[in-house]
Amino acid sequence: MKKILIINGPNLNLLGNREKNFYGDTSLERIKSLCAEECKKNEIESEFFQSNHEGEIIEKIHSVQNGFDGIIINPAAYTHTSIALLDALRATSKPKIEVHISNIYAREDYRRKSITSEAVNGIICGFGENGYILAIEAIKKLIYSND
């Protein structure tokens, strides 16, 4: 069975309580549950991970090469600032999808540039929690097209 890693960056643990105008009422636990359900339907094993610490996220990305078939990542604020995450993502040859709950291109100027997107196969943004479902569909196609 194929296995994917779903990584969530800083402050996403606060979903449902912060900036509801951008992120809605959904919680990270709800997103985790939706992802688990979708992966099960698609016969994909998944691991869900969230950290507020850049180094922990980088270590998790490093683990992908030997234990996973692909990554879905919501780097959150690190999207716009972290060359270290970009380098970690570039270091793995596994398929990668970047996802954002809000449409980063309709937000503040500093959020409109995704540094990390330079290392992923594609980006999905602006679809709320459904973006994760779309990302699972996309990563599945990428994983199976590499076989």
pTM for the full predicted model: 0.92
User: How confident is the model over 138-147, as a mean pLDDT?
Assistant: 88
What is the domain range of residue 71? 2-145
Q: What pLDDT score was predicted for residue 15?
A: 77
**HSE of 58 in the Cβ direction (CA atoms, 13 Å)?**
12
33 versus 17: the higher-pLDDT residue is 33
Any idea what the CATH number is for the domain that residue 24 is in? Answer: 3.40.50.9100
3-state secondary structure of 100: strand
Q: What pLDDT score was predicted for residue 102?
A: 85
81 versus 147: the higher-pLDDT residue is 81
Note whether 43 and 78 are within 8 A (CB).
Answer: no
Number of domains comprising the chain: 1
Q: What pLDDT score was predicted for residue 23?
A: 56
The residue written with tokens 């449409």 in the block is 103
Tell me which of 18-22, 25-29, 56-60, 139-143 is least confident: 18-22
Note whether 32 and 48 are within 8 A (CB).
Answer: yes
DSSP code at position 144? H
104 versus 89: the higher-pLDDT residue is 89
Residues annotated as catalytic are 23, 100
